[in-house]
Structures are given as structure tokens and as C-alpha cells.
Structure 1
């Protein structure tokens, strides 16, 4: 049973502003650290093997706890969970900035991931509940998608500038003022929200789901040290499958309040959007990784210059998001998703033609503009499709599921495509061999997006409504 707060007063503009800042911060933190990794290694004495855990610790807790974070938002209140997540994220960012040894920074990054796992689904659920339908919903999701993508793209630029001209520690400290601003706005929102009452929580299901997701991400991120076919990786992934299968079995039979109602997947919009999001997440995370390395290791640019070269991508995503708002009033979300994904695939296919003696103007600028506009065009329709028609009491769960599919997709894609690129590079590392590996990886990113379009067309039905951002797609 779900109850509404009787004294709640909706403040749509304030809610949108708070959620926009939160989403920008969470997205920024996925990429802002990457450019500063060499300086972090020198500053804290990381070994080459352990340095990757600065990234993995965040991905592990973020991806593994998203479903639990979404359920917590539904059960205990979205605003309450959002404020908790902001507090934890801010404190973890401070701790990471002041870290004096590798273990302290890794622990801080893990705590950031826990905070993000509560922030992302609660913020998205809050936005969905505040703008349930109509033109305000289209505009709200357009702004959300622009901030989401801008955070990831600007994270590379901001990280490069801070690392080169201030200190790597500021890639952690930069979150603190954003936390303060978002907390002040979220505290004043006082929006009406569904809060679960009655029914015992499904503790066993929560343990199995969290353990399964964490084990899955753990197995995937360690493929840089243990190949996919190694006994270590195979065993880890098998344990993850067993845990997740056990979770499904428990959800089917439990008499308690389930962590996620399996009937949620009967919505074509939910299942189709999450499958699409899994592949898009894999492609986008991998492309950012390959292009960052291409700019630095093949073309020889420094951190700040490499970060600045992502600026056209960030601006293109904003342009695509604005287009999504305007076109969202006229076209079905399914059509916008297909068009955006195909445009992004074309940009990545162009990226796949990079050369070892290339330049920013000939090899980066053009495909950046095409891919970024296409990606921006996808974001708002994707989020709205994944939550449209969902019961108000399950918005947090649906939002957590969508964030989880993107994070798991990013981990799986980066590991799989990174392995393919490494194999193409071979044992002799030169700018030419690295270029060949990165080119292959970017071409595979394009293939993933084409696969996402095929899945979307197969799962989502055509709709005669003007836009699926305003109406359900059954």
C-alpha cells in the first residue's frame, strides 16, 4: 500500500532544478576522474594493477546497488532518499580529496558509488512523479537528458583542466559545491510522493539481487587481469548467474513486498527501453574510453587539451536534447529513439576510421558532432519510455532499473570491447597498433547501436499517438 503526504506542496521548477544538478553531478563523476588517473597514481603511489580500482570501486557499488536504491526511494520517500544520497556523496567526495593512500581513495570512491546508487533513481523518480504527462513532461525530460549527457562529456574537460592546472584532488572536491546547491534545493521541494506502508520488505531478495549485481560487475571489471575464458572469470560470472537466478525465484514466490515486481517487465516500454539502454550504455562508455586514449596515446595531446576536444561532443548532446524537446511534441518516442541511435551509430562508424597520423579536425570533430546530436536525441525519449505507464509506487524501482541497465551495459561493453581492442593491438605497442585497436573498438560501438535499434523495433509497437512522451506505449 502506498500513501501520499497530505501536506506536500509541489514545486515543479525547484524539483527540476534540483534533479538537473544531481544528474549533472552523477554523470560528471563517471568521467571526471579518468583523465587524472596518471597524476593520481603518482600522487598516492598506486601500482599499475590497483589504479583501475579508482574506477572499478565506483562502478561496482553504483551498478550493484541501483535496484536497492530505487526500492528505497519507493519505500521511504524519494526526497528523503535523495537527501541521504547527497549527504553521503558529498562526504565521500571530501574524503577522497583528502586521501593520503590508495586504500583511502578506493574506499571513498566506493562510498561515492553507494551515494550515486541512491541519488540517480530517487532523482529520476521524483522528476517522473512531478511531471506525469503532457508538454511539461517533454520539456522536463529534455532538460534532464541534456544535463545527464553534458555531465559525462564536460567531465572529461573539467577533469583535464583541474588535473593539469590545479590538482587531481579537485576532481573529487568539485562535487562538494554541487552537493550543497542540490541539497538546498531538494530540501525545499516538499513534493507529493508515494511512500510504502505495510508489508514486510523482501530482505532475502534484496541480498540476492545486490550480491548478484555486485558479483557480475566485479567479474566483468576484472577481465583486464583475468581473461573472459579464465577459471577466475568464468567462476565469478557463474556465481553471479546463480545469485540472480535465485533472486528471480524468490521474487516469484515471496509473500513479502518484492524488491522488484517481475510483472513490471510485462510493460513493453520497460523491457524494450532497458534492453536498448544496456547496449547504448555499452557503446557510449566504450567510445569515451577509446577516444580519450586515442587523443592522448596516439595523437599525443595532454590531459587539458584532450578534455577540451570533448567540448563539441558535449555541445552536440545539448543540441540533440533541445531537438528532442521540439520533436517530442510531434513524433513518437520510438521514432526518435531509432533516429537518434542510427545517427549515433553513423558517428561511431566514422570514428572507426581514425588514423595514427590524424588530427582533431579530420578525425574527431565531424564524427563528434554527428554522434553527440544523435545521442542527445535519444535521452529524453528513452527515460520517458522506461517509466511511462508504470504505477506511481514503482517509479523509483523503474528508475533504478533503467540506471542499472546502463551501468551494467557500460561495464560489460567496456570489458568486452576493451578485450577486442587489446587483441587487435597485439603485443607490439606503437601508435599504429594502438590506433588499429581503438578503431576496431569504435566500429564495434556502432554495431552495438544498430543492435539496439533492432531490439527496439522488435519489442516496442508502433503507436498512433503524437508522442510516447505523453502517452503510454503498451
Structure 2
């Protein structure tokens, strides 16, 4: 799977300068690092709290700051890659991501750290679309491309598990700062290799076709909403700050809708939501984002703050769930082709709800095998069955010009849904813990139990949502053609949203 080094093919079209495995390695490494950074800071939260005195509300922003800008600017970054070239946008995002990791690792106060995480999410958003585009657009045989996409998917799964383990090892051995500083050497090496290896793509530099106002109002609206929900636990729902934040969220998100209906090149043509399966898929992925983010977040705190686990032990204890999620996601590719998305989504959400209900029984003095390992394996198995069916449901019946947009939307829903859900659940856990009259440890556990009950209920609601999907033929492909699910392949300006199948 190599390509001779040359500037042009015999037909005059540009080809790779390096063996194609180098391009695949760049794409997979970048994807690994981006996913790793969604989990690596979880087990470092107690150390951050100890140094900066970060409140419960503040701790969740270390996670959410990354998720909000990651999800909020994902579609804008995809569009920017179309207009200015994937290499340029990827390298720019990589520089932002790496410098933000350095800034976060050197942070002298909590505000500095949180700003760094917001900026790091922006860099991640710029890098993400190019990781899949590099594989899709590189000249290689079809079976090599399929293998490369499988490696890319595996890199994402391994990144989540590696983040938990590496975060624990770095925090225990060197301190929490190194969970962010680790991105610096990786980023430098990746930048040098990518700069040499990637070919500049043709670009149409036309800022008027880039919906910056839409992306900014949407992202700031979500930030205001997350802040309002998370601040309610400490300031109260009637406080001026909370009310102002929630009102700002309404105004900004309304402005986003207005912008999308009036701009010539909308980030999200709203008429695409007339396609019912796509709308349902976005709801499902938002709910799944809530579940995944909250389980890792609250279990990490539970094990370190209540059970007294070390950071390394906490990271290792959550690896089985991530491995189960990866294995199930691979298996579901065949299952969805045989049974269709709807059945798999219903079964997956029911199984997930069962595992989460079991998890809600966690005691103050836990038996890991019974109260953590068992339920997380069950919940992970259920959630793993949902990833591929959601993407399939989002793209089935969508015309070719909208397939990339549909895929980008569900990925955005996962990130943003996780941020909003975590903010609300942190408030629920804190409020419940302080109004029980129990001891500190018992109150914390009671709050976490309540959270897991709510997440289990969310999974059951997802079952009902999944049932609204139309029945699809069993021959539906397990995974949409990557060339049709790449956000870069969609051009809202050239496509007619009204052509979307209903």
C-alpha cells in the first residue's frame, strides 16, 4: 500500500509525495489524540481541584469547555476546509490545539486553564474533518481505503481508552499538568510530518461563503446555556447570573436560527430537518453524548473522591467499558445490515438503560466487580450497538449532496449534547447531595445515584425516540459510504435542501 514519490500523476493530477501509509498514520494519530483529549482530563480533575480549588461547577467546565467549542465549530471547520484547503485548515487547527495544550499545562489559575480548554476545542474542530478527508481523498485501492477507515475507527476507540489510562499514569507520576502537556511533543511531530507529507489542495478563498456568524452565535448560545445550567447548583435558579445566562442563550440561539434562514450560504440549512430520520438521529446522538460523557465523568469522581482510588486505578477501572464499546461498535456494523437501524437502536438503548439502572446502586464502600465493572460492561454493550445505526439512520434517504452535512450534524449533536447534559447533571448531583441531610460521602453518592437514574431514564426515552424511525430494509448498509458521510463533501450553497427525502 505505497505510492511512488512524485509531484504529478501521468494525467497531470497531483499525487502523494510519500507512501500512503504515512498519510494514514497522520490521520489515525490525529484522530487518536483528539478523542484521547475528551477523556484524559477526567481522572486529573481531583488534582486540578486540589491545586486551584476549582468548584464542582468549575470542574465540569474542564470537560465542557473542550466539548462545546469542538462541537460548535465542527461544521464551520468542515466548510473552511472546502474553501481554504484541508491541509491549511488542519495545520492551523493543529497549531491552535498544541499551543492550547501548552497553555493549559502552564496555567497559573483556573480561569487560564478553562480558556485553554475552550481554545483547544476550537483547534480540535479544525483538525477533525481533515482526518477522514485525508483517507478519502488519498489515491489508494478500494480495499486499502476500507482497511484505512477501519484503522481510523480503531484509533478513535483506542484513544478513548488510552486517555483514561494515560491520564491516570501521568497524573500519578508527574502531576495533572502533563495530561495537557503531552499534546505538545505529539503536536510538534505531527505538524512537521504533515507539513512535509500533505499536498496543498485547491481552495476557493471566499469568506462570504463561510457562515462565521452562524457558528459564533450557535457556540456562544450553547456556552451561555451550559453556564446557566451549571451555575444554578451554586447560585440558585433565581439568581441574576443564571437568569441572564439563560436569557442570553435564548437570544443567541434565536439569532442563529434567523441567520441560517437569511444567509446565502447557511452553516445548517434548516430545511434539512424535514427529513425525519435525520432529526431523530440527532436526538439519539445527543442523548448518547449525555450518557457517555456523564458516566465517565461521575464514575471518575466517585472512584477517586469516594472510594479513594488512585488516578491510575481509576483510569484502568474504566477501560473495560471503553473496550466493550469499541467491540460492540465493530460488531454492530454487520448487525445493522441484517436487522436495520431501528431494531438495533431499540435493543441498544434498553440494554444501556439496564446497565445504568444497575450502576445507580453504587454504595459508599463499593465492590468494584459488582457495582462498577458489571454495570459498565452492560451499559457499554448497549451504547456500542447505537453508534453505527445512528449514522445509518441519519444518512439513509439523504441525497448525496446532503450526506456529509447529515454526518457532521450527528457528530456535532454528540459533542454539544454531552456538554449540555453534563452541565445539567452536575447541578442535579450537587443539589441532591446538599439537601439530603446525609454525611458528606453519603450525600455525594446519593447525588451520583440520582444522576445514574436520570441517565437510565434518558436511555429509555431514547428507546421511544428510536421507535419513531421508519422501518428500513434489512439490506441497508451498515455504514454509509465514507465518501458520502464526509462533511467536506457537502456544499449547502450548491444543494437544494428541499430535495432531501421526506
Could you say which TM-score interval applies, normalised by the shorter chain?
A: 0.7 to 0.9
Tell whether 2:214 aligns with 1:205: yes
Aligned match of 1:432 = 442
Q: TM-score, normalised by structure 1?
A: 0.84
State the 1:410 CA deviation.
1.3
User: Structure 2: where are the runs of 5+ without partners?
Assistant: 1-11, 485-500
Q: Deviations over 1:361-402 (max 9, x none)?
A: 121111122222332332234345445666666666545433
* Pair 451,51 (structure 1): closer, same or farther in 2 beyond 3 Å: closer
State the 1:104 CA deviation.
3.6
Question: d(CA) in 2 for partners of 1:59 and 1:285?
Answer: 10
Tell whether 2:367 aligns with 1:353: no
Aligned residues: 465
Question: d(CA) in 2 for partners of 1:223 and 1:74?
Answer: 40
Tell whether 2:38 aligns with 1:30: yes
Alignment of 1:257-296 (within 5 A): 257-296=265-304
State the 1:237 CA deviation.
1.9
State the 1:220 CA deviation.
3.3
Higher relative contact order (CA 8 A, sep 6+): 1
SS in 2 for 1:225: helix
Q: Deviations over 1:210-232 (max 9, x none)?
A: 43233333333433433345443
Aligned match of 1:3 = none
Tell whether 2:441 aligns with 1:441: no
* Pair 40,295 (structure 1): closer, same or farther in 2 beyond 3 Å: closer
Question: d(CA) in 2 for partners of 1:136 and 1:454?
Answer: 39
The answer on whether the counterparts of 2:348 and 2:385 sit within 8 Å (CA) in structure 1 is yes
Tell whether 2:146 aligns with 1:162: no
The answer on whether the counterparts of 1:36 and 1:160 sit within 8 Å (CA) in structure 2 is yes
The answer on whether the counterparts of 1:141 and 1:380 sit within 8 Å (CA) in structure 2 is no
- In angstroms, what is the RMSD of aligned CA positions? 3.5
* Pair 98,122 (structure 1): closer, same or farther in 2 beyond 3 Å: same
The answer on whether the counterparts of 1:70 and 1:401 sit within 8 Å (CA) in structure 2 is no
Question: d(CA) in 2 for partners of 1:340 and 1:183?
Answer: 39
Q: TM-score, normalised by structure 2?
A: 0.80
User: Structure 1: where are the runs of 5+ without partners?
Assistant: 1-5
The answer on whether the counterparts of 1:71 and 1:260 sit within 8 Å (CA) in structure 2 is no
Aligned match of 2:114 = 106
* Pair 202,27 (structure 1): closer, same or farther in 2 beyond 3 Å: closer
SS in 1 for 2:265: coil
Aligned match of 1:61 = 69
The answer on whether the counterparts of 1:65 and 1:213 sit within 8 Å (CA) in structure 2 is no
Question: d(CA) in 1 for partners of 2:164 and 2:174?
Answer: 15
* Pair 121,274 (structure 1): closer, same or farther in 2 beyond 3 Å: farther
* Pair 468,60 (structure 1): closer, same or farther in 2 beyond 3 Å: closer
Alignment of 1:26-105 (within 5 A): 26-43=34-51, 45-48=52-55, 51-52=58-59, 53-105=61-113
Question: d(CA) in 1 for partners of 2:121 and 2:418?
Answer: 15
SS in 1 for 2:375: helix
State the 1:155 CA deviation.
2.0
State the 1:33 CA deviation.
1.6
From 5, 13, 17, the equivalent of 1:7 is 13
Alignment of 1:231-246 (within 5 A): 231-246=240-255
Alignment of 1:25-424 (within 5 A): 25-43=33-51, 45-48=52-55, 51-52=58-59, 53-124=61-132, 143-180=151-188, 182-183=190-191, 188=197, 190=199, 200-254=209-263, 256-387=264-395, 397-424=405-432
Question: d(CA) in 2 for partners of 1:126 and 1:221?
Answer: 38
Question: d(CA) in 1 for partners of 2:420 and 2:170?
Answer: 29
Question: d(CA) in 1 for partners of 2:220 and 2:372?
Answer: 40
* Pair 344,120 (structure 1): closer, same or farther in 2 beyond 3 Å: farther
Q: Over alpha carbons, which structure has the higher Rg?
A: 2
SS in 2 for 1:260: coil
